[in-house]
């Protein structure tokens, strides 16, 4: 209770900082995420899958048992809350993104404030938003919500070593366990972020010959993790879907991670990261180098020399099997160290920031963020085949019930028609038939049964040599039972991508 009484005045003292971050988040995300009300809808396939899972859960479906996806259940609760706020738009997700982004900025400010004056810490935290918008793609990814927990965790790690004898460190370690548990229930491989620095804390405690404290640290971390995970395990056990949860979240992701790609994690992917996100990578390397080799910043060598392994193991965990440019967001949390490094150098020369330059810096950061999203903003009123297909489905159902079997990625048809998938496998992840045949086999059985849906949506690449893909497995069954009613082909990239809407013949 004393801790609560102590933290309330601290929040009140910084309420204007929080309010400014909240306003900054609402303004910049208005253009910086497709979940914002100025966009028709967020057409990112991943986000639509999360929304479908959250919506399904809020309407009585059991995740993994009734609907399949391979992210953790906490993400579906987040999207379920977004659905409750607004069931026919991404307004709710936009609000949750703004709250998450505000919290990220606030803890970046707190972290920066460990080494900088309040003025420079404020600018440093807003400067991180440039990295955020350079890596968040269309907005609403799992990585964005994971970043929230990582930011709090990183701040508490540095605070632990700066204020080593703080009696609250036990509480902070317990909080770290809670943060790990939350991330484990969104994207389990990212929990590796905490492994090296928490190990450094325990090793440092052992070096200090405080063995009892080292044991307490370990037990408190474990307790924090279990406190978050246990309710979910109990829920899935109670609804008899613990095996479905294990199959979808653990087994499937194990298979998914073993697929690999043509890019080498040690040579090709670093080049790709450098090409797509040079600023983030530069900040990370600069910051880790500065904090590792500057003895006056962090005294404990164990922690200082844990930073490079922390980055390395997190990088390998994320990019060992595939490269997607938005994956860098889970590593980009460390870029704040580079921003702090540059800010500390400037602060030594210019101790105070004139109000004029302070305002100019903020406006410049906002301007850069808008420029980073210029392509998305430019296409704000572009054609959406999903909307046309969805309107057709709603207008031509007749007396039949609107039911959709989506055979590709979740492109938003369930969102736009405000329906819940009638089948478990409502989309096809980026995994081949040979590696996980259950999805395609199950959908073929559905199409052949009496429960065949009214509409089928499918997307496939058009190749010159008519190279067979997994989508072609469906074609004999589809052509026998369905007619093409809508078609759209995108020639923006090659091979061209074709989207087809089928309607059942009888």
285-337 pLDDT per residue, tens: 999 999 999 888 888 889 999 999 999 999 999 988 678 888 999 999 999 99
Q: What is the reported pLDDT for 5? A: 40
Q: Are 112 and 125 in contact (CB under 8 A)?
A: yes
Q: Where in the chain is the domain with CATH 3.40.190?
A: 385-504
DSSP string, 171-203: HHHHHHHHHHHHHHTT-GGGGHHHHHHHHHHHH
Q: What is the reported pLDDT for 439? A: 95
Q: Taking residues 381-394, what's their average pLDDT?
A: 93
Condensed to tens digits (0 to 9), the pLDDT of residues 69-106 reads 999 999 999 999 999 999 999 999 999 999 999 999 99
Helix (H, G, I), strand (E, B) or coil at 464: coil
pLDDT of 9 > 70? The answer is no
Residue 467 Rama label (left phi>0; alpha psi -120 to 50; beta): beta
User: Is the domain defined by 385-504 classed in CATH 3.40.190?
Assistant: yes
Total-model pTM: 0.93
* Interstrand relation of 404-406 and 455-462 (parallel, antiparallel or unpaired): parallel
Pairwise CA distance, residues 416 & 394, whole Å: 10
Q: Which residue has the higher pLDDT, 299 or 3?
A: 299
Model confidence at 266, pLDDT cuts 50, 70, 90, reads confident
pLDDT of 10 > 90? The answer is no
Say if residue 262 is exposed, middle or buried (CB neighbours under 10 Å; 0-12, 13-18, 19+): exposed
pLDDT of 365 > 60? The answer is yes
Q: What is the reported pLDDT for 496? A: 86
Q: Are 503 and 454 in contact (CB under 8 A)?
A: yes
DSSP string, 58-87: HTTPPBTTTB--SS-HHHHHHHHHHHHH-T
Q: What is the reported pLDDT for 261? A: 64
Residue 491 CA from chain centroid, whole number: 29
Q: Are 425 and 442 in contact (CB under 8 A)?
A: yes
Q: What is the reported pLDDT for 7? A: 47
HSE of 276, CA atoms in CB hemisphere, 13 A:
19
Range 377-392 burial, b when 16+ CB lie within 10 A, else e: eeeeeeebbbeebbee
Q: Taking residues 162-189, what's their average pLDDT?
A: 92
Whole-number average pLDDT of the chain: 91
Q: Which residue has the higher pLDDT, 147 or 357?
A: 147
pLDDT above 70 covers a percentage of the chain that reads 96
Condensed to tens digits (0 to 9), the pLDDT of residues 196-221 reads 999 999 999 999 999 999 999 999 99
pLDDT of 226 > 80? The answer is yes
């Amino acid at each position: 209770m004393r801790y609560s009484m102590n933290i309330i005045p601290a929040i009140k003292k910084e309420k204007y900082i929080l309010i400014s971050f909240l306003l900054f988040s609402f303004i910049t995300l208005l253009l910086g995420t497709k979940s914002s009300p100025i966009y028709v809808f967020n057409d990112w396939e991943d986000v639509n899958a999360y929304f479908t899972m959250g919506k399904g859960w809020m309407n009585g479906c059991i995740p993994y048992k009734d609907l399949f996806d391979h992210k953790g259940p906490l993400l579906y609760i987040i999207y379920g809350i977004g659905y409750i706020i607004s069931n026919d738009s991404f307004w709710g997700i936009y609000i949750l993104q703004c709250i998450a982004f505000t919290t990220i900025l606030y803890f970046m400010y707190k972290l920066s404030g460990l080494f900088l004056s309040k003025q420079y810490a404020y600018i440093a935290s807003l400067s991180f938003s440039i990295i955020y918008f350079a890596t968040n793609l269309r907005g609403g990814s799992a990585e964005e919500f994971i970043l929230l927990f990582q930011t709090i965790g990183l701040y508490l790690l540095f605070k632990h070593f700066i204020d080593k004898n703080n009696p609250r460190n036990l509480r902070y370690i317990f909080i770290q366990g809670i943060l790990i548990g939350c991330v484990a229930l969104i994207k389990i491989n990212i929990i590796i972020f905490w492994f090296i620095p928490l190990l450094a804390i325990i090793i440092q405690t052992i070096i200090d010959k405080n063995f009892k404290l080292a044991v307490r640290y370990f037990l408190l971390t474990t307790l924090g993790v279990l406190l978050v995970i246990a309710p979910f395990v109990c829920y899935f056990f109670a609804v008899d879907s613990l095996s479905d949860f294990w199959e979808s979240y653990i087994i499937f992701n194990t298979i998914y991670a073993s697929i690999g790609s043509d890019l080498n994690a040690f040579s090709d992917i670093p080049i790709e990261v450098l090409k797509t996100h040079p600023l983030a990578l530069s900040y990370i390397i600069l910051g880790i180098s500065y904090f590792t080799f500057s003895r006056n910043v962090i005294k404990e060598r164990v922690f200082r020399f844990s930073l490079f392994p922390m980055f390395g193991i997190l990088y390998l965990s994320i990019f060992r099997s595939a490269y997607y440019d938005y994956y860098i967001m889970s590593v980009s949390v460390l870029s704040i160290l580079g921003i702090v490094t540059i800010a500390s150098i400037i602060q030594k020369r210019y101790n105070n920031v004139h109000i004029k330059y302070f305002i100019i810096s903020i406006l410049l950061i906002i301007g850069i963020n808008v420029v980073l999203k210029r392509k998305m903003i430019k296409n704000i009123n572009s054609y959406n085949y999903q909307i046309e297909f969805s309107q057709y489905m709603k207008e031509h159902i007749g007396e039949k019930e609107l039911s959709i079997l989506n055979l590709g990625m979740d492109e938003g048809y369930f969102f736009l028609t405000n329906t819940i998938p009638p089948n478990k496998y409502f989309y096809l992840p980026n995994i081949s038939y040979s590696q996980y045949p259950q999805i395609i086999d199950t959908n073929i059985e559905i199409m052949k049964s009496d429960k065949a849906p009214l509409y089928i949506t499918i997307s496939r690449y058009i190749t010159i040599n008519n190279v067979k893909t997994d989508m072609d497995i469906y074609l004999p069954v589809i052509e026998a039972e369905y007619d093409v009613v809508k078609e759209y082909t995108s020639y923006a990239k090659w091979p061209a991508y074709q989207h087809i809407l089928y309607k059942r013949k009888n």
